[in-house]
Structure 1
């Protein structure tokens, strides 16, 4: 399984200073990427594909227009495996998920589940996500980051214990974006279970690389991009099934500039009599999300792809071979919106 992430280092580029010129910044980024790739190749048992993408702009405020969905699609293009995990880079998969995927019999069940057939609809496999908190115990004090690292290799019963002590919680507990996963049920579950899609549901999932809809490239900055993608899956006909013994752990980090800007825009919106701030990233994302929902409801939506993603999907050999196999094979997917 390869992971489609969505974050990278991006900074404003000005040509007035040699050290911050486009050429110097790009050269430095390439050197860092090459060094990181070498370390990862030496340390990890799997192959790492590292794609360095950059975008030039003239004003620092353009960093708020981070091309989130375009980069997600680029990551997906690099995948050569049947299954992909749509996980953010700050979400750490549990060892139990790796162990499942390393078992051919279990992996084949995932293939069948995500592909679907003429008899049953395809599914995405929801991987519950958790956040951690600092903790004081009789064995010492532990930071949220240390607990995150521990929970990656822990067994589910240990995770349940920390849940009971309030050291971990479900991701984004104050929002409804993960309510449909039914965490209390998951903590006791030993088998997969299906959940009903709810508005604004945005879990991280495992899915079929070839068949799941692409991300809409018009979304930039923070907000709506992942929510709308999951909503598109629902309208396309996908079922949502929850993995009973695998999970993701969020590793704590500083808030991104785009997230801070999103929160600021929301506060500004609440102060205005008219409500929506259309000239902000928040206003753009919210308005675009509303238009897409209306199109989905009338079956008029088609995912907007940037030219590079569309061209690569048509020409990359590992996409062409699989695409031919999918169209001529035994599995079909109806009402694909992308």
Structure 2
């Protein structure tokens, strides 16, 4: 089951996502009470998503009301996880679109080795990929990479953290699943078993290393990360989120987030003394 958080202004991305993902989807809408009362009913009823019965049958919708100026992203992820009915969950941002065959491929990987953590390599598009341009398979994606229209996240900028343990150069020619060697600051979008019962740290809000902290936890628990060789997700361009803008406007928010982020690293070191983070 794919699990994702969205705001009302990202519902168009949700429509794109469900077109490519034929499996169940848990979506949490982060809304103000005003929007929920005045706009949500209209938006849902007029949405192209809920006008289709094949989508409604696999869609699970939750609401979390905005209470202050902070985005409790990990609290919302845990709401989705606690209410998931699936044995395995795919944690993904709503503006990352998978290829159409990804759901079936992940199912097959889980059947062959259900005790591992699986991930789809994440790419970034330099152009907006509508339904006609979006690659249907790895072959079409490789052509876009060759043109420079799509790149692995961080590859073009030379960013050495984040998604680099995915090993993009290996993925280009891979035909079998391969292990991504964990390095600190790895932040993959993973498929994990619900029985693991690993929860996101709710002290981390906005962009406070939330996915990095979760990958550290999975690494500490002894799980290996395995990369799907023929499937992918692509981040589509969009305007900056309010949380990202706050980091530039309020330096104290970044400093406080860094303190909490490092505190969690210390907690993990105490919990897993024989593991390097």
Q: Shorter-chain-normalised TM-score: which range? A: 0.7 to 0.9
Query: Aligned partners of 1:108, 1:158: CA distance in 2, in Å?
Result: 22
Is 1:88 the counterpart of 2:93 in the alignment?
yes
87-96 vs 35-44, which moves further:
35-44
Query: Aligned partners of 2:103, 2:179: CA distance in 1, in Å?
Result: 22
TM-score after normalising by structure 1: 0.67
Describe how 1:1-338 pairs up with structure 2 within 5 A.
Answer: 2-9=1-8, 24-32=34-42, 34-35=44-45, 39-40=49-50, 42=52, 44-45=54-55, 46-57=57-68, 62=69, 65-100=70-105, 107=107, 109-111=109-111, 113-114=113-114, 116=115, 123-134=116-127, 144-146=128-130, 149-150=131-132, 152-173=134-155, 174=157, 175=159, 176-265=161-250, 268=251, 280-299=252-271
Query: Aligned partners of 2:267, 2:34: CA distance in 1, in Å?
Result: 44
Quote the offset at 1:145 in angstroms: 3.2
Structure 2 CA distance for partners of 1:184 and 1:224, relative to 1, 3 Å: same
Query: Aligned partners of 2:179, 2:113: CA distance in 1, in Å?
Result: 12
Structure 2 CA distance for partners of 1:243 and 1:80, relative to 1, 3 Å: same
Name the structure with the higher helix share.
1
Structure 2 CA distance for partners of 1:150 and 1:289, relative to 1, 3 Å: farther
Quote the offset at 1:150 in angstroms: 4.4
Structure 2 CA distance for partners of 1:53 and 1:209, relative to 1, 3 Å: same
Superposition CA RMSD, Å:
2.5
Query: Aligned partners of 2:211, 2:153: CA distance in 1, in Å?
Result: 15
- Once the two structures are superposed, residues 276-300 of structure 1 have per-residue CA deviations (whole angstroms, 9 ceiling, x without a partner) of xxxx221122111101111111217
Quote the offset at 1:221 in angstroms: 1.8
> Does the CA contact (< 8 Å) of 2:137 and 2:231 recur in 1?
no
Structure 2 CA distance for partners of 1:75 and 1:155, relative to 1, 3 Å: same
| SS state at 1:4 partner | strand
Quote the offset at 1:170 in angstroms: 0.7
- The residue number in structure 1 matching 2:19 is none
- Once the two structures are superposed, residues 59-110 of structure 1 have per-residue CA deviations (whole angstroms, 9 ceiling, x without a partner) of xxx1xx1110111111222321111111111111111213335xxxxx3640
> Does the CA contact (< 8 Å) of 2:220 and 2:272 recur in 1?
no
Name the structure with the higher strand share.
2
Quote the offset at 1:47 in angstroms: 1.5
Query: Aligned partners of 1:158, 1:23: CA distance in 2, in Å?
Result: 43
Quote the offset at 1:247 in angstroms: 0.4
Structure 2 CA distance for partners of 1:110 and 1:230, relative to 1, 3 Å: same
> Does the CA contact (< 8 Å) of 1:151 and 1:159 recur in 2?
no
> Does the CA contact (< 8 Å) of 2:208 and 2:261 recur in 1?
no
Task: Structure 1: give runs of 5+ residues left out of the alignment.
Answer: 11-21, 102-106, 117-122, 135-143, 269-279, 302-334
Query: Aligned partners of 2:97, 2:225: CA distance in 1, in Å?
Result: 21
| SS state at 2:123 partner | strand
